Structure 1
Amino acid sequence: MPQKKHTFKENFIHRTKQGLFWILPIAAILMILFWLYQQVDTIVTNLLSFVGINPQNEIVWIIGILLIFALILYIIGYLISTQIALYFESLFYNIPGFSTLKDIIGIFNSSKEGENRVLVVAIKGFTPDGYNIGLMYSQRESIIKGHYTVTLSMTPIPNGGYLFEVPKENIYVIESATFDDNLQYLLSMGVKSLADVLKVEPKAIEEMQTLEKWLEENKR
């Protein structure tokens, strides 16, 4: 059956949507950070004006605001592991789109821990002796007992991919790799191997840690 040819309009809309959904999480993070910076700037300015301090050096002022902003983010990062943050977050879950946006932004977060930590893994490939490199966005067991979900992303722009339910004994964790490393690997389109990105020597598959062993060592 001959493949249907798409019109210029259809191709343009398709590519535009791909670009939109790829840039949305990045734009959302930048907008939130910029908004938070403005709020911190306003609060600090009002406090200093109240006590009669009026900084003249603009560069020192910006550095000071950034340091205060970084301190606030550190405190928030610390509170995330407490019940206070969980309660505060639960108040927003009734807002339409919040959980979806949170999940999308969470994909780009390489600092997650516990069941939601992002792991770079190798799984059996499409040839008898081959392997594919993918991501695990969660270490929660699949609906199929003993299986876990692995995402294989597209290259060069990972705005799509495939989900596989893989037995845990067939998943090998690449411990030194992060989400960002995997992104570099995908963007290189194979010009760089993951070993090149990580600046490490290649390993035999037997030397890599299985997910089963990783889960045992990282039990809470």
Structure 2
Amino acid sequence: MPIRVLLVDDHEMILRGLEAMLQRFTDQVAVVGAVSDVAAAVRLAVESAPDVVLSDLRLGKNSGLDLCTALRTAAPTVRVVFLTVYDDEQHLFQALRAGAAGYLLKRVDGPELVRHLHSVRDGEVVIDPTMAGRVAASAAHLHNGEFWPGARLGLTQRESEVLALLVGGLSNRAIAGRLVVSDDTVKTHLRGLYRKLAVNDRSGAVATALREGLFR
């Protein structure tokens, strides 16, 4: 039987493009709906019971991670595959932690996408081939105890470096000099790690880093 797929993206053009792409494979894929927000996606997933929800990672004010979490309760048999432009490990790991069964980039072509959908319906977890090498390298580092501190909290490698220098007592200017970046770049990294650590300032970030044992 064709794979039943629900499409979720907050850009109408993307939805129409995906529908047109998958229309060439009606013997293998049946699109059961195309919606643009989390609430509609959850409602339709419960009503139509698709095999796979193919969703963007960013959905307006919400995110595909919210959708993934909601579906684990509302429709636990539905598998979620993210189709996104974000090609970094941080977003990939967040998606997998949320329970996603796949992470693909929007440059995927029709035949490849259909193959991946088949694999997901068969119980596999699929990762875009262009990211697979980097993920394997990260896994090797993790096995060797070399994975960067804070990765499990969603920090990027550079945010982890900034946090380590923060814990060491360096000022923004000193951090910028050590990493050979601008002061504004340091401030951007600080805002990102504050948000991910759910703190408001330097002292909160340092306290969290020490409490979590990120740096020994």
TM-score by length of 1: 0.25
Q: From the CA coordinates, give the structure whose radius of gyration is larger.
A: 1
TM-score by length of 2: 0.26
